[in-house]
Amino acid sequence: MSPGTATHGEPAHRWAARWWTAYRQTAHRQTAHRRTAHRPTADRHSPDRRAAHRKAALPQAPHGGGPAAVGRLTVLLFAVTCGVAVGNVYFPQAVSPVLADGLGVPPGAAATVVTAVQLGYAAGIFLLVPLGDRFRHRPLLVTLLAVAALGLLCAAAAPGLPPLVAASAAVGVATVVAPLVGSMAAGLVPEERRGAVSGTLLSGSLGGMLLSRTFGGSLAEDLGWRAPYLLAAALTLTVALALARALPRAVAPVPSRQRYPALLAETVRLLRTEPQLRRSCCYQAAVFAGFSAVWTAVALLLTGPVHGLGAGAVGALALVNAVTMLCTPFAGRQVDRRGPDAVNAVAVLTVLVAAAVLLCGTRGGAVGLAALVAGTLLLDVGMQSGMVANQIRIYTLRAEVRSRLSTAYMTCAYLGGSLGSWAGTHAYGLAGWPAVSALLALLAAFPGGDLLLRRRRAALRETAPRKAAPGKAAPREAAFAESAPREAALTEAAPPKATPRKATRRNTGR
């Protein structure tokens, strides 16, 4: 046999290549078998395992509770995002007097723009926020902000009131970013920081709410009612680009396997099954309805015959109230320390005092303006503190459905706000500013009365006498009284027992 051939006449190099290929295939099969032998084959490609791998791929937080905790700059970006998104809902309140003049419609008809955007916001919260439990937050947030910017551009180009109302409703549906950011941030921070971070995000939301009125009214008075819509569109696009660049791709919820209709039904079911959620929703809907009624009607009061000011006065009043957003982190720390109920009680009391102070706003001159400034300051502080307390109450219920809890809560709150805007406009048209102040007091009395009843019941449970009513023995004492005669009779009838004698030396024989 020649050196260049194998056993059966095959060339040596071909035989070696075939042997090496078979060896590599066998080694690969053995390695794959060793890797998969420790887990069942049926569970290898299941959706639960894929979800667990995606969750494990997220950076873990130092506190061990989930994804990595966000830093201060990220929280600041989240707060600015919330402010821009919420500001899109509220700057029409200051623009409506100029809008009425620009389109040639009555002030009450122009106020329907405010109601439309708040109704759209409530619908968007119910329809879109549950998607935060299914999709990654980064593309979802960027897409919603882009659609909101497009709606603002359409509103700026609206030729009349009906197209403007439709575009405003579309903006409200799309600008539902703040609840998504809030639920996302609540899952990224440890529990002991949740109150402070929620307060910071709420400060951003309320800052956008107040500052949007300030700049919206001033821009509308100087450049026309279309200018605030153009500026809002530019800011919304800027925030969308910043989130697309800064938000990590790994920030994602554990994906829910429920279909979209099931997610909506789950939101309604949570309202039925979670009493603390219903309680928070009712509290915030009532207070927020009064808040929206006051801020919708105060534009009519300031630009009316009592004060005779322009739309810039509404913006200046909102600018003064912007300092109240500093109280929300303090309210969050108080909730962490004393609980939501204590902060809710103080918030409702503050709103009731605000209603009494605002009643003096019908006076002309400096006295009326001072009453409006002081009353709106108290109203903003009470509403913000109550919102922090209610949000933290629902965020501690069930972490796996946090977006749907936020959906139910914010939907109820903004439904109350839209109804409050409508009721405030009609109350002002019927009986003037005193009717608006009375409406605010009536709405704040509902959560205040519920808190008093709950506190009264808790005090009665703590101080309830443990003894039975007069003439009736307590169950334990009655049982003892019935068993005592029987035990005495048995003791008398029984023969005496012999007492055992002690063993001594005498009776043992020692």
pLDDT average, residue stretch 245-262:
66
Average pLDDT score over residue span 444-470: 76
470 vs 430 pLDDT, higher one: 430
In three-state secondary structure terms, 309 is coil
pLDDT at 254 over 70: no
DSSP 134-174: TS-HHHHHHHHHHHHHHHHHHHHT-SSHHHHHHHHHHHHHH
Checking if the pLDDT of 41 tops 50, the result is: no
Cβ(293)–Cβ(156) below 8 Å = no
Cα 265 to its chain centre, rounded Å, is 18
What is the rounded distance in angstroms from the CA atom of residue 270 to the CA atom of residue 283? 17
pLDDT interval class at 308 (50, 70, 90): confident
- Mean pLDDT (whole number) for 27-48: 55
Tell which wins on pLDDT, 382 or 75: 382
Q: Is the pLDDT of residue 327 over 60?
A: yes
What CATH number was assigned to the domain covering residues 64-247+256-458?
Answer: 1.20.1250.20
Mapped onto helix, strand or coil, the DSSP state of residue 158 is coil
Percent of the chain beyond pLDDT 90?
Answer: 20
Least confident of 42-46, 111-115, 265-269, 457-461: 42-46
pTM score over 0.85: no
**What pLDDT is stored for residue 495 in this prediction?**
54
Nearest to 445 by CA among 355, 343, 377: 355
Confidence of residue 257 (pLDDT cuts 50, 70, 90): low
| Unique residue bearing structure tokens 């959906």 | 407
* pLDDT attached to residue 501: 55
Q: Rg of the chain over CA atoms, in angstroms? A: 34
Rounded Cα–Cα distance for residues 86 and 176 (Å): 8
Q: Which two tokens stand for residue 347?
A: 């918030």
Residue 471: pLDDT over 60: no
Whether 236 shows a pLDDT value over 90: the answer reads yes
Other Cβ atoms within 10 Å of 134 Cβ, number: 17
- Angle 263-268-274 (CA atoms, 0-180°, nearest 5)? 110
Q: Is the pLDDT of residue 240 over 50?
A: yes
The CA distance from 408 to 79, in Å, is: 21
Residue boundaries of the structural domains of the chain: 64-247+256-458
Cα–chain center distance at 71: 20
Residue 88 pLDDT = 92
**Of 9-23, 212-226, 272-286, 302-316, the least confident:** 9-23
Among 185, 141, 129, 205, CA closest to 403: 129
